[in-house]
Amino acid sequence: MSALRILLLGGGNMGGALARGWFAGGGEALDVTLVDPKLGDAIRPLVEAGSVRHAQAVPAETADVVVVAVKPQMMDAALPALKPAIGSSTLVVSIAAGTPIAAIERHLGEVAVVRAMPNTPALIGRGITGCFGNARVGEAEQAVTEQLLAGCGPVEWVGSEALIDAVTAVSGSGPAYVFYLTEALAEAGAAAGLDPDLAMRLARATVSGAGELMRQSDETPARLRQNVTSPNGTTAAALGVLRAAEGGLAPLMREAVAAAKRRAEELSQG
């Protein structure tokens, strides 16, 4: 990426996480300009160190890559302002949730566009991002996109833009499901007699530790679950409840993901 001229529109938490990933990965020679009316804390150290230039408005010079990291409600105002930075070979990577590629093309014309859906663990380099590119995105553009997003975690490509809504429902919203599970586990521990603060510490460490074990293991989640479940033991008793209550956890999760996907589709359609 050493030769790329990158325009980053939006220096909030996610924009800052992306930029930190670029420079943590050896991007000292990158030419990065941040466009944001305000300089946020997430990216301020890079600006103060001179790694990233800060501009109030889009410079009148073509960028190799434009990364759009503003809130979805700002897109209609932000996209037209990008025209001075767009050339025939510019790649646009948008992480604005709910904004379809067609809306970006309406403002910016015939340009390579990747719609990306990261999740909040990207803030600590442990996220995952689902991507889809329009017809102008080839192998070279995919490779650049992966380089730009790799600092936030792995990148996965889907075969149609419609599947970005499913990605949103699984991994985009997924951290909230895990946080809610942690809340519920801690509350159950307190109900079982533990001090609430201790119950929360146990729940947080258990969920984060199980996630790390799953990340590092070659075993499937099903096998890992079986490994910790002794026949007629305590874990088996608990799993029996989770499977039996209101049809079980699996159909409830399918219903939850379906609801999130429907809402993502509604937002994408405006």
pLDDT in tens, 107-152: 999 999 999 999 999 999 999 999 999 999 999 999 999 999 998 9
Mean pLDDT lowest among 44-53, 176-185, 199-208, 217-226:
44-53
Q: Which amino acid is at 162?
A: A
| Residue 2 pLDDT greater than 90, yes or no | no
Q: What is the residue extent of each domain of the chain? A: 5-159, 174-268
Burial of 268 (0-12, 13-18, 19+ CB in 10 A): buried
Fold of 5-159: Rossmann fold (3.40.50)
What pTM, to 2 d.p., does this model score? 0.91
CA distance linking residue 211 with residue 58, whole number of Å: 41
pLDDT in tens, 95-117: 998 899 999 999 999 999 999 99
Kindly list the distances between the CA atom of residue 77 and the CA atoms of 22, 81, 92, 115, 167, in Å, as whole numbers in the listed order.
Answer: 27, 7, 16, 18, 26
Superfamily name and number for 174-268: ProC C-terminal domain-like (1.10.3730.10)
